[in-house]
Structure 1
């Protein structure tokens, strides 16, 4: 049986894809080629080789023809050169050199699906839904290339590069009148996809930034550690915001941790051979504690499968804003010369039969994050001081040490002050626990 793996959009470009390790001889037979059309292609190739003003490498022409052919299809179908095919395989392991953003296409330009936690792009302030209108691979203005009508592979090649080198990207963001430049230093991206914190006793928080080869194993270990630290869970916050996807196999296994039985997801393609189903197994399932899943517009593909399946099975409350809406499956087929074909072959559907493609996951509780203006107001309020004796000229200084600041040192505590969606999730879980312990009697 062929080995199946699932990748997200490029780790600078994301989605759900099936890695099919098939030789060309394994592919289903198809209708014979239209020789008249092929003759036209061959004739043009011959004319270019014979009469173009400069010598042209035949392989370059063939690759250009392949890219052009696939560019007329959906934005996730593409030709992968041998070098880039190797990089795509590395992406699923969470290691590559670049900026650390997931991208897709929208209105002819390259759009950020989500920055990856802790990467140069995230630290530089790149945000989900930012539009990259130009890439300057050497960080100089004269190297800038517009991304209009550029395919994703070309954009990825321009943004990736040896660690320590710089790249400039021109960003257009909602609310800005003109694009702004961001100069970012490339780095070796080693993404740890699971992060766990204890919000308060019995209430852990787990952040999944991507679905990589080790995600389920690391999540299971994090939950085990949380059980050890805090005992029985009163609830769990699973944060899938700005998670652009990854390996479908991992998304299925993560969902399986919280479901005892039932379908998790299924896919449908052009023919019956593309119908596949994934089901939960009872072994290793977590106890049934209250659970909130956080999502936003940067939650795409594999993360939408997890949120949608848990929502359909009424296992978790989904909170936040609507997701990205990518519900297509890409099959990565190795070609004989070491290159690959990334081909959209199916759409995936949630247990209820609903599709995510363009429809998106709608949260059970719609909570938008704080705006930049609201965050600035919170920061100013926190930094504000009340007028007191110490502000008077010539005041006497206390001989005792000043009390330590109450400012929280724990980054998680600070996030709880600035993250409206997490605040609401925590409140819901705490009230859920309170109401479940109430003894409601009948009225007289």
Structure 2
């Protein structure tokens, strides 16, 4: 017994005596790394062909350090940070696309509905090969964004390789100030509401709930077809509150960082105005981030049937950390998980019914080139073109709904399913 105690004491003293060793080594490594960085900084500043300030070099170093981590971490200059804030507020200048970087290539996540990029025919999955004649090979995501954005009224020329095409095409797009209408609706049949959410911005939940309330003033709500196709995401808080509109209780999403203790859960608020009618939710490869959070929560809670195609798979959390000079860093700090613990990252959300979009006519413009086929003229409340119409609103709405359903096989299926859900649940 004494021998065992002595061995334990010796091991404890030995452990305590050697513990500082690795820490000192780590400090030495840090010092050597910083020393090497300072030496290279001086060499570039003194020997590079063009004059550069230390601030420029350090800013570029920070930018490179972050962009090497993953496609979504980034350094935001004061102007970039301001642009991002304008974007989430619902208005910005540009052409209206969400892009990412995959294996060194600049890839379109989705064009934002009713923007110059959308009208020019850009699609989710398109590769951007050139921007104004400059190859994107080796270009950072930040550089690509900077080159695509610009003053309203100016033109950017993009060399695009569409998915399933072997020949790139050059597409000139005139930049504009882009107000984002983030919620659109259309009555499909009496009591069945088509509800389209284009992006998760500061006003999204409020606008969504207002649109539902407006519809309920005129109709007895029987079911909702909730369209998240080509919705690139946005604010986490809005994803939670949108899901909370339809989910009565329980977890909506949780995020987990490097440490187990960093887990953070987001719950439904037991909203007394919860919408409880049957739902079918449409998703596709352009449904990303916040869209996937909502779709995953609705699926895990058995609140909605998911129809369409597997979503994009962007399940990482970016935290914006403002700096004192007006800049900020966007750092990936965690991953999102659905209520049942499924990771969204690089996997996406699988629909309950996998139904690819089928164009009604390959040569017909109404197919909208392999994207879901809702247009501005299809939606209630859009501005008319000034030519007038002798038809009353009821007839016009019925024609719009009929046209939408004819052109969109996923939407047709969703409507039939949402009408059948109460009966299907009784059979279960």
Q: Per the alignment, do residues 408 and 350 of structure 1 end up closer, same or farther by CA in structure 2, a change over 3 Å counting?
A: closer
Residue pair 2:254, 2:336 contacting (<8 A) in 1 also: yes
Higher helix share: 2
Matched, 1:77 2:66: no
Aligned to 2:117: 121
Which one of the candidate residues 223, 234, 252 is aligned to 2:222? Answer: 234
Q: CA RMSD in A?
A: 2.3
Q: How far does residue 408 in structure 1 lie from its aligned partner after superposition?
A: 8.8
Where 2:153 maps in the other structure, the secondary structure is coil
What is the CA–CA distance in structure 2 between the aligned matches of 1:296 and 1:417, rounded to whole Å?
Answer: 19
Residue pair 2:359, 2:408 contacting (<8 A) in 1 also: no
Matched, 1:96 2:92: yes
Residue pair 1:408, 1:414 contacting (<8 A) in 2 also: no
What is the CA–CA distance in structure 2 between the aligned matches of 1:174 and 1:372, rounded to whole Å?
Answer: 19
Superposed counterparts of 1:6-405, under 5 Å: 34-136=30-132, 144-231=133-220, 233-272=221-260, 274-371=262-359, 373-374=361-362, 376=364
What is the CA–CA distance in structure 1 between the aligned matches of 2:363 and 2:283, rounded to whole Å?
Answer: 20
Residue pair 2:74, 2:330 contacting (<8 A) in 1 also: yes
Q: Which shows bigger deviation, 202-211 or 152-161?
A: 152-161
Q: Per the alignment, do residues 436 and 106 of structure 1 end up closer, same or farther by CA in structure 2, a change over 3 Å counting?
A: closer
Structure 1 portions without partners, runs of 5+: 1-30, 137-143, 380-403
Q: How far does residue 437 in structure 1 lie from its aligned partner after superposition?
A: 8.8
Q: Per the alignment, do residues 203 and 375 of structure 1 end up closer, same or farther by CA in structure 2, a change over 3 Å counting?
A: farther
Q: Which shows bigger deviation, 298-307 or 277-286?
A: 277-286
Q: How far does residue 62 in structure 1 lie from its aligned partner after superposition?
A: 1.3
Matched, 1:415 2:404: yes
What is the CA–CA distance in structure 1 between the aligned matches of 2:75 and 2:365, rounded to whole Å?
Answer: 48
CA deviations over 1:319-340 (Å, ceiling 9, x no partner):
0000000110011111122111
Q: Per the alignment, do residues 50 and 322 of structure 1 end up closer, same or farther by CA in structure 2, a change over 3 Å counting?
A: same
Residue pair 1:297, 1:321 contacting (<8 A) in 2 also: yes
Q: How far does residue 364 in structure 1 lie from its aligned partner after superposition?
A: 0.4
Residue pair 2:189, 2:398 contacting (<8 A) in 1 also: no
Question: Using CA pairs below 8 Å that are at least 6 residues apart, which structure has the higher relative contact order?
Answer: 1
What is the CA–CA distance in structure 2 between the aligned matches of 1:278 and 1:236, rounded to whole Å?
Answer: 24
Where 2:196 maps in the other structure, the secondary structure is strand
Q: Per the alignment, do residues 307 and 40 of structure 1 end up closer, same or farther by CA in structure 2, a change over 3 Å counting?
A: same
What is the CA–CA distance in structure 2 between the aligned matches of 1:320 and 1:156, rounded to whole Å?
Answer: 30
Aligned to 1:432: 421
Residue pair 1:331, 1:342 contacting (<8 A) in 2 also: yes
What is the CA–CA distance in structure 2 between the aligned matches of 1:276 and 1:230, rounded to whole Å?
Answer: 39
CA deviations over 1:101-148 (Å, ceiling 9, x no partner):
111112211111111111011111111111111111xxxxxxx22112
Give the TM-score normalised by structure 1.
Answer: 0.80
Give the TM-score normalised by structure 2.
Answer: 0.83
Q: Which shows bigger deviation, 68-77 or 234-243?
A: 68-77
Q: Per the alignment, do residues 407 and 340 of structure 1 end up closer, same or farther by CA in structure 2, a change over 3 Å counting?
A: closer
Where 2:336 maps in the other structure, the secondary structure is strand
Q: How far does residue 427 in structure 1 lie from its aligned partner after superposition?
A: 1.3
Q: How far does residue 413 in structure 1 lie from its aligned partner after superposition?
A: 3.2
Residue pair 2:188, 2:398 contacting (<8 A) in 1 also: no
What is the CA–CA distance in structure 2 between the aligned matches of 1:281 and 1:62, rounded to whole Å?
Answer: 45
What is the CA–CA distance in structure 1 between the aligned matches of 2:144 and 2:330, rounded to whole Å?
Answer: 16
Where 1:34 maps in the other structure, the secondary structure is helix
